[in-house]
Amino acid sequence: MAYPGPQDQDGQPYPHQPSQPYGQHSHQPPLPAPAMRNWAGVVGLCLGILALLLDVTIGLARVGIWVSYVAIFMSGFGMAKARVGTATNRTLPIVAMLLSATASALAIVVQSIWHSV
């Protein structure tokens, strides 16, 4: 016979005592892990690569600068998510930010060369 645990005067268990004996677990499924939001850094990197490719083609450098602005914004959003802890990839948004800033500077240089010719 198992020890029923501490009881009050009427033989009822105290309300703060667990209803199941020690060592036995309830049959509830575990809570799901919080969803990680790594998409912002990935989107920033993809847009940075696209902006860099658009800047290399001289006729599309005007579009590339706008794509690089969106990539900088998305990379910054990804860095903020990594700083808060809801994203696990900390280096990907940093690389995306550097690539996007490079693409933006390249677009400005290509546009100034294109307009001076």
Give the orientation angle of helix 61-84 with respect to helix 39-56, to 10 degrees.
160
Q: What number is the average pLDDT over the span 10-32? A: 63
Q: The tokens of 58 are what?
A: 């001289």
Name the nearest CA neighbour of 19 among 5, 2, 33, 29. 5
Per-residue model confidence as pLDDT tens digits over 54-110: 988 877 888 999 999 999 999 999 999 999 988 888 899 999 999 999 999 999 998
- The pTM (predicted TM-score) of the whole model is 0.67
Is residue 93 exposed (0-12), middle (13-18) or buried (19+ Cβ within 10 Å)? buried
pLDDT given for residue 87 in this prediction: 87
Is residue 62 exposed (0-12), middle (13-18) or buried (19+ Cβ within 10 Å)? middle
